Amino acid sequence: MPTVFIKLGFNDKVLCEKRFRNIYLNSVPVGFNLGINLNYYRGLHVSCIQKIEVKVDGEVLPEQLYLFCINGKKFSINQLKDLYAEFWGTKNTANLEIYNNGLLEGEHEVELTLHFRSPYLRFAPRFYGTIDSSARKRMTLISNKEEVHIQ
């Protein structure tokens, strides 16, 4: 159960502009990819993630459209709470695939809400400190030359 929110710095490192691109199926955009980095000083198990929410240009995208991709695997947001064996290292960029029919090329205001429970900040049984690793950034969608194709 979360107790305390700690807001982390280095927000500019959380959203990875190199991985912001559309996902295509048969040359038709079906969604987009958003690279996410931890700005915490240690890695953590994916089960520690409490909340992920993405807004693009002020519009909240429903979590049912998300796939969280890490260590070569893809998971729905509902599965994250059970992923005790999946570790997100501080040097690993996770990908959030959002299947919303893609985005138009150009600049977009991207806002990520990312809250996680810190297993290193245990105050009492089942009471942990909660870290706010949220970020907001104006990002440019990568051109079609670097499309991601799903099969």
pLDDT, tens digit, 9 for 90 and up, residues 17-57: 999 999 999 889 999 999 999 988 888 999 999 999 999 99
| Nearest CA among 51, 149, 49 for reference residue 97 | 149
Note whether 32 and 101 are within 8 A (CB). no
Q: How far apart are CA 135 and CA 54, in angstroms?
A: 10
15-25: strand order across its sheet: 73-75, 66-70, 94-98, 28-36, 15-25, 148-149
Share of the chain above pLDDT 70, in %: 87
Give the global pTM.
0.86
Q: How far apart are CA 98 and CA 62, in angstroms?
A: 9
Q: What does each C-alpha distance from 100 to 37, 40, 66, 75, 145 come to in angstroms?
A: 22, 29, 9, 17, 20
